């Protein structure tokens, strides 16, 4: 979610077209694109991507946009952007903040908005035509980006401002903008010379294409597999899973219900199906996405990506790519990031083995003599949960209607920050499932648009994420346009979308990211919203999750979908009591991915890596239970290999976990989860973007540096004091 400041904020989103929407990596190479200017001008006249958007609050006119519009629009916008940047770089006047920094912030407006629309569509509603455009444009956009960051005249102007910043009388935000631009240009190769500059650009271009290929392979390989279910199979499953399976079969024009590899389909099946052979088939297919030795296999892509990343880091003077990536974060070094994960590892693993013992007892009672395997864990865990807390997942889901949970996320924002959300039905969307709300302040003033795309479908990548169609821009006065994507199972027509407590937590998490974009209030778009350190960007999202688990919120919004009655107090207490249940598994699963991600990027000979053997070696070294694999296995690890947003940075969720647990304690210490004074300080975190360093931002909120103790306590790994 971090934008690419060195491009100018308006153009920063071009990288969405080449990478994951959450990526924050610089992109490649200095070759000039050759464009027929007259042809581009003619195309622009009929191209909705290049026209002025006369829509409510400048929202994208999706119904007018077709795949064939993107390449000519990109070409025209890149041509305009090149001219703007060349004018800045060749300006004969001495560099000033206005003629260099401000000009860069305003450059590339068309390219930015086109890229944001394209990047979101390729993640949320892709098809063969968009895939083809993405494959062609990713390296071209990368070359365009590098042509800017490796422009010697342009960097000379930025460098001059950086060296003389103290004498220029800059405001704090102006000085911060200069600092951030300079750092990002340097990290993007601006100080390289000769052959190194050319090679750096080539690497960036190659990586852009590889990131696109990795993501497309993961999606296409996932869509190949289904597990047909008979009437007998369906009879053994909860009604919502059976309904989802029937809908999935119909969507694929199949004559049988099926389980798919969408996480929202396969995970509930693994939790609820008593058929061990079918669970094994589903688990193996889910675990092996991108690792099936077919045309969509990602192992070679991983080796090539890692080799190019190492070469790039070495060109910039870093020992490894992990050192390069962590140098721009709160952690600062790979050692610090690993140390945090290891601090949590031992208590998490110990808890996981306790959880495994419970599973082994149930399996023995069932007459299953095998060791606990990956396809056993979720199924038996649900039985242990039901027995220990007398919890029936279907009973809990009955009180978690997606519609009410959406209302709950808005209610919390209203109580904390004084904003209102009103659904709009006059804003164009790219799919009938997408909904739009307008955010206003208490006085009714428009503050932004929020899109919600909540259901899984073909053409949409798995997982959940936040992105933007437009960042907040203090220069132009543009308000933000933000989107949340989730992948819940779509119910039959007329039926409510009942979700799990985990799904509801994800909803709150992504809305926390959404608020980080929506509440942004900075002078410059390059510093706006989520343009912060990767290991800080998760804090506003993860801290927001805490409000879902508060009785004051659940009692108001956890209402039975048929009766409208609130969740009974005793059930509510059991739900909350069970929140730390299976925490050993969840934490170990996460840390397995974090250790492997960091391990890959510390390798100095990555081209020789055997992907499966490498995973096994890392997990064996830490003594991970065999039944708990990586949460995201390498060949479908989009965080790490579909862009650079979380490469050598997956640990950041744990880093932010320290922040969010410590941070929410501020409200508990105040005795009010909506304490106005504490909420005001939290608003400053959401609104300030990257105008100050991340640790300073946190200390301003909390009054001190964070402590790891609340995380360990809240996960049940240590006892609460007192």
Annotated catalytic sites, by residue? Answer: 510
The total of other beta-carbon atoms located within 10 Å of residue 375's CB is 21
Phi, psi of 651 (to 5 degrees): -55, -20
**How many Cβ atoms sit within 10 Å of the Cβ of residue 362?**
17
Identify the three-state secondary structure at position 420.
Answer: strand
**Residue 432 burial class via C-beta count within 10 angstroms: exposed 0-12, middle 13-18, buried 19 and up:** exposed
In the beta sheet, which residues pair with residue 465? 485
How far is residue 19's CA from residue 21's CA, in Å, rounded to a whole number?
Answer: 6
Query: Cα(360)–Cα(691) distance, rounded to whole angstroms?
Result: 52
What the block records as the tokens of 657 is 């976990």
| Residue 205 near residue 143 (C-beta atoms within 8 A) | yes
Q: How many CA atoms lie within 13 A of 442 on its CB side?
A: 6
Q: In the numeric block, which tokens belong to residue 473?
A: 């821009």
Question: For residue 102, what is the DSSP state?
Answer: I
446 forms bridges with which residues in the sheet? 440
Which of these, 685, 689, 683, lies nearest to 474 by C-alpha position? Answer: 689
Residue positions counted in the chain: 722
Residue 564: CB partners within 8 Å, gap ≥ 6?
Answer: none
Question: Can you read off the two tokens belonging to residue 706?
Answer: 């964070």
Starting from the edge strand earliest in sequence, which strands make up the sheet with 435-441, in order? 419-424, 435-441, 446-455, 481-488, 465-470
Phi, psi of 424 (to 5 degrees): -115, 135
Determine how β-strand 481-488 pairs with β-strand 446-455: parallel
Cβ atoms < 10 Å from Cβ of 91: 16
Tokens 């669970």 -> residue: 279
Looking at the DSSP bridge assignments, the partners of residue 559 are 566
How many angstroms separate the CA atoms of 298 and 105, rounded?
37
Strand partners, 439: 421, 448
Q: Please state, in angstroms and rounded to a whole number, the distance separating the CA atoms of residues 54 and 64.
A: 12
């Amino acid at each position: 979610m971090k934008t690419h400041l060195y491009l100018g904020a308006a153009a920063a989103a071009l990288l969405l077209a080449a990478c994951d929407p959450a990526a924050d990596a610089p992109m490649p190479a200095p070759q000039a694109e050759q464009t027929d200017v007259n042809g581009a001008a003619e195309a622009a006249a009929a191209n909705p991507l290049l026209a002025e958007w006369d829509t409510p609050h400048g929202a994208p006119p999706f119904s007018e946009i077709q795949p064939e519009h993107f390449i000519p629009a990109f070409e025209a916008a890149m041509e305009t952007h090149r001219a703007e940047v060349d004018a800045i770089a060749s300006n004969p006047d001495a560099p000033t903040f206005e003629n260099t920094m401000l000009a860069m912030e305003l450059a590339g407006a068309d390219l930015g908005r086109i890229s944001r629309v394209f990047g979101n569509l390729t993640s949320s509603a892709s098809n063969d035509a968009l895939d083809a455009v993405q494959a062609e444009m990713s390296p071209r956009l990368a070359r365009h980006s590098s042509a800017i960051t490796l422009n010697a005249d342009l960097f000379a102007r930025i460098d001059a401002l950086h060296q003389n910043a103290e004498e220029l009388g800059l405001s704090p935000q102006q000085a911060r903008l200069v600092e951030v631009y300079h750092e990002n240009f340097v990290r993007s190769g601006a100080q390289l010379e000769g052959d190194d500059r050319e090679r750096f650009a080539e690497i960036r271009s190659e990586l852009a294409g590889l990131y696109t290929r990795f993501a497309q392979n993961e999606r296409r390989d996932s869509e190949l597999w289904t597990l047909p279910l008979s009437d007998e199979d369906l009879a053994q499953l909860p009604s919502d899973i059976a309904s989802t399976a029937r809908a999935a079969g119909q969507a694929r024009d199949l004559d049988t219900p099926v389980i798919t590899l969408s996480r929202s389909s396969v995970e509930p099946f693994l939790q609820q199906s008593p058929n061990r052979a079918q669970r094994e088939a589903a688990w193996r297919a889910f675990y092996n996405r991108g690792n099936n030795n077919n045309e969509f296999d990602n192992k070679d892509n991983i080796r090539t990506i890692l080799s190019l990343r190492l070469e790039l880091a070495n060109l910039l003077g870093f020992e490894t790519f992990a050192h390069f990536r962590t140098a721009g974060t709160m952690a600062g070094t790979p050692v610090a990031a690993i140390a945090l994960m290891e601090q949590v590892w031992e208590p998490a693993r110990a808890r996981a083995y306790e959880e495994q013992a419970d599973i082994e007892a149930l399996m023995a009672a069932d007459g299953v003599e095998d060791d606990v395997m990956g396809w056993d864990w979720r199924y038996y865990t649900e039985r242990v949960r039901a027995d220990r807390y007398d919890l029936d997942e279907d009973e809990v889901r009955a009180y978690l209607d997606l519609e009410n949970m959406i209302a709950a996320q808005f209610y919390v924002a209203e109580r904390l920050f004084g904003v209102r959300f009103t659904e709009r039905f006059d804003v164009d969307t790219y799919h009938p499932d997408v909904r739009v709300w307008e955010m206003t302040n208490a006085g009714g003033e428009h503050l932004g648009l929020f899109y919600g795309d909540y259901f899984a479908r073909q053409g949409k990548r798995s997982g959940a994420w936040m992105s933007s169609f437009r960042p907040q821009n203090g220069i132009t006065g543009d308000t933000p346009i933000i989107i949340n994507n989730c992948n819940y199972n779509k119910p039959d027509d007329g039926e409510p979308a009942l979700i799990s407590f985990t799904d509801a937590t994800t909803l709150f998490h992504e809305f926390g990211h959404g608020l980080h974009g929506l509440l942004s209030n900075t002078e410059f778009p390059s510093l706006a919203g989520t343009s912060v350190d990767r290991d800080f960007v998760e804090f506003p999202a993860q801290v927001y999750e805490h409000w879902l688990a508060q009785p004051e919120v659940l009692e108001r919004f956890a209402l039975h979908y048929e009766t409208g009655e609130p969740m009974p107090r005793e059930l509510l207490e059991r739900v909350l009591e069970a929140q730390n249940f299976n925490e050993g598994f969840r934490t170990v699963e996460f840390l397995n991915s974090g250790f492997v991600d960091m391990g890959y990027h510390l390798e100095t000979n990555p081209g020789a890596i055997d992907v499966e053997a490498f995973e096994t070696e890392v997990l064996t070294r830490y003594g991970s239970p065999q039944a708990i694999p990586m949460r995201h296995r390498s060949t479908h690890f989009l965080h790490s290999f579909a862009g650079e947003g979380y490469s050598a940075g997956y640990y950041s969720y744990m880093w932010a976990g320290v922040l969010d647990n410590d941070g929410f304690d501020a409200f508990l210490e105040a005795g009010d989860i909506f304490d106005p004074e504490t909420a005001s300080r939290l608003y400053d975190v959401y609104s300030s973007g990257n105008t100050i360093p991340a640790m300073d931002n946190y200390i301003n909120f909390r009054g001190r540096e964070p402590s790891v103790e609340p995380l360990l306590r809240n996960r049940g790994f240590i006892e609460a004091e007192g």
